[in-house]
């Protein structure tokens, strides 16, 4: 989570989770701030210790930050089983209002679980919008969903300022019976001024591994009455329909994401986890495949392109099979693999020509490897310059063969991200034959070692075959 404050600083937050945390009773959220555009960060403190006039007994967890002019707001769960709470800061996050019987408590928990706020609260001329989830059974991601709305100029700290929509529940028969749940929803304002809720989708192979690549779009109708109305049809999303809703193919749909519309490019953008094509099968759990973060965009919310890879574990793109295997933990329960390192839950801001990205990371540290690819021991900030510049076929260039280390011949090429590249050889320069399988490149300068047939004069080249994302899944290796 990250917000540009009215004083120009960047404020980022993270919560404390896991078996040694107090997440079941009191949520702990910490703030860090940068005043030099992300070059350095200093700890601001824990939310409960920043409340005034005294420290707060209520915590906050799974928080969303949003602004109303110079005022900064935090909305989140007091704990996994606590109420939904909201606080305001009038000094850019240095201090916050307390939660008490008069203000700050919005919704009581249900089914012993909180009404958790998604990672984004949006504002338009109609007011403020948040999407909530409540886990209704012991099955993870089995959530009921609703939207809450507050009118402009309302006192956002008062519970009666927020009106709730109807509640949607999911059906395990969706997606040909593979559907397991939806979660971590966020509001999205479309180019037409309509309102959607975007949701991460959990659907599974028969062996329990996440499939990935799907997201859900709920239609939100700002009713003329006090309460908004939401609707979902479990069909492919078609924006041309009235009250359009449904499923979309989306690269990072199995892990938390947000989508923003950018008027300057007239496109929808997201920073999300991406799964290279070779790992899109039941041997790899898409829900825990978090080793690649990509910038993606779409003109219509249904056809997405991978624009560039922002961060990645380089082992996932290695030629050496042993190196690739070292990027995974498992098999989990003897069935499938998770990435050993994680770059996950990306949050981003569009500012001018750049995108600012904050990522929760599980990475190797001086103390050793992370506990698991899901768990965080770092927070990473990145700036993506000139993000609207999209790649074109002219960006792909292949150089002549050169001699590399130990005299081995290499072919070097400038690759586009998430495209498939095929190595080909020819004896006469006219008839070309594929050598091996097409490989996916992370983008930028790429080197492949050439293995030539002894005693046979050959020519070599690399050709671009297409975008990996549109090629779909591949069967697992035996």
Mark whether 352 and 400 lie in a shared domain.
no
| Judgement on whether residues 168 and 311 belong to the same structural domain of the protein | yes
Q: What is the pTM of this model?
A: 0.94
Does residue 274 form part of some domain? Answer: yes
pLDDT of residue 45: 97
Q: Which domain holds residue 423?
A: 393-471
pLDDT at position 454: 62
Measured CA to CA, the distance from residue 170 to residue 345 in angstroms comes to 23
Mark whether 451 and 343 lie in a shared domain: no
Cα(30)–Cα(23) distance, integer angstroms: 13
Number of domains in the chain: 2
Q: Please check whether residues 48 and 83 belong to one and the same domain.
A: yes
Task: Write down which residue in 384, 405, 421 finishes a domain.
Answer: 384
Is the same domain home to 399 and 367? no
Going residue by residue through the chain, which has 478 residues, state the pLDDT in tens, using 9 for 90 and above. Answer: 899 999 999 999 999 888 888 888 899 999 999 999 999 999 999 999 999 999 998 999 999 999 998 999 999 999 999 999 999 999 999 999 999 989 999 999 998 999 999 999 999 989 999 999 999 999 999 999 999 999 999 999 999 999 999 999 999 999 999 999 999 999 999 999 999 999 999 999 999 999 999 999 999 999 766 799 999 999 999 988 888 999 999 999 999 999 999 999 999 999 999 999 999 999 999 999 999 999 999 999 999 999 999 999 999 999 899 999 999 999 999 999 999 999 999 999 999 999 999 999 999 999 888 989 999 999 999 999 999 999 888 888 888 766 656 556 788 889 999 999 998 988 888 999 998 888 898 998 888 877 666 656 678 889 998 888 887 666 665 4
Q: Is 352 left (phi over 0), alpha (psi -120 to 50) or beta?
A: left
What's 114's domain CATH number? Answer: 2.120.10.10
| 299 and 264 assigned to the same domain | yes
Same domain membership, residue 466 and residue 331: no
Does some domain include residue 477?
Answer: no
Burial-class residue 435 by CB neighbours within 10 Å (0-12, 13-18, 19+). Answer: middle
Cβ-contact 425, 474 below 8 angstroms: no
Confirm whether 213 is domain-assigned: yes
**Do 129 and 216 belong to one domain?**
yes
Assigned token pair, 48 = 């409960």
Q: Is 286 left (phi over 0), alpha (psi -120 to 50) or beta?
A: alpha
């Amino acid at each position: 989570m990250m917000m540009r404050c009215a004083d120009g600083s960047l404020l980022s937050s993270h919560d404390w989770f896991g078996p040694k945390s107090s997440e079941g009773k009191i949520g702990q959220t910490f703030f860090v701030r940068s005043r030099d555009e992300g070059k350095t960060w200093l700890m601001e403190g824990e939310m409960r210790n920043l409340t005034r006039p005294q420290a707060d007994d209520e915590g906050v967890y799974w928080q969303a930050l949003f602004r109303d002019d110079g005022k900064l707001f935090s909305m989140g769960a007091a704990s996994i089983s606590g109420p939904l709470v909201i606080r305001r800061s009038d000094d850019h996050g240095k201090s916050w209002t307390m939660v008490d019987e008069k203000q700050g408590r919005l919704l009581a928990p249900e089914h012993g679980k909180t009404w958790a706020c998604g990672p984004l609260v949006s504002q338009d001329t109609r007011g403020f919008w948040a999407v909530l989830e409540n886990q209704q059974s012991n099955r993870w991601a089995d959530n009921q969903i609703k939207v809450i709305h507050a009118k402009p100029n309302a006192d956002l700290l008062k519970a009666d300022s927020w009106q709730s929509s109807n509640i949607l529940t999911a059906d395990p028969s969706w997606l040909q019976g593979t559907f397991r749940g939806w979660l971590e929803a966020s509001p999205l304002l479309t180019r037409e001024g309509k309102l959607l809720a975007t949701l991460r989708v959990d659907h599974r192979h028969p062996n329990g591994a996440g499939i990935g690549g799907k997201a859900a779009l709920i239609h939100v109708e700002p009713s003329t009455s006090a309460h908004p109305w939401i609707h979902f049809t479990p069909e492919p999303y078609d924006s041309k329909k009235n009250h359009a809703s449904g499923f979309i193919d989306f690269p990072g749909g199995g892990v938390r994401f947000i989508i923003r519309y950018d008027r300057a490019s007239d496109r929808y953008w997201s920073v999300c986890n991406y799964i290279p094509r070779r790992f899109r099968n039941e041997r790899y759990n898409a829900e825990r495949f978090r080793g690649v973060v990509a910038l993606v965009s779409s003109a219509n919310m249904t056809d997405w392109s991978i624009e560039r890879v922002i961060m990645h574990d380089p082992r996932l793109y290695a030629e050496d099979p042993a190196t690739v295997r070292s990027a995974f933990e498992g098999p989990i329960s003897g069935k499938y693999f998770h990435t050993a390192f994680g770059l996950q839950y990306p949050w981003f801001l569009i500012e001018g020509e750049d995108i600012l990205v904050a990522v929760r990371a599980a990475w190797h540290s001086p103390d050793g490897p992370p506990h698991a690819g899901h768990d965080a021991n770092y927070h990473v900030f990145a700036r993506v310059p000139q993000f609207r510049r999209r790649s074109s076929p002219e960006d792909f260039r292949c150089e002549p063969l050169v001699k590399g280390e130990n005299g081995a011949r290499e072919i070097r090429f400038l690759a586009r991200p998430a495209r498939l590249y095929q190595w080909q050889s020819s004896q006469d320069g006219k008839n070309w034959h594929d050598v091996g399988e097409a490989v996916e490149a992370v983008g930028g300068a790429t080197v492949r070692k050439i293995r030539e047939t002894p005693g046979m004069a050959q020519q070599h080249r690399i050709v671009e075959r297409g975008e990996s994302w549109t090629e779909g899944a591949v069967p697992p290796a035996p």
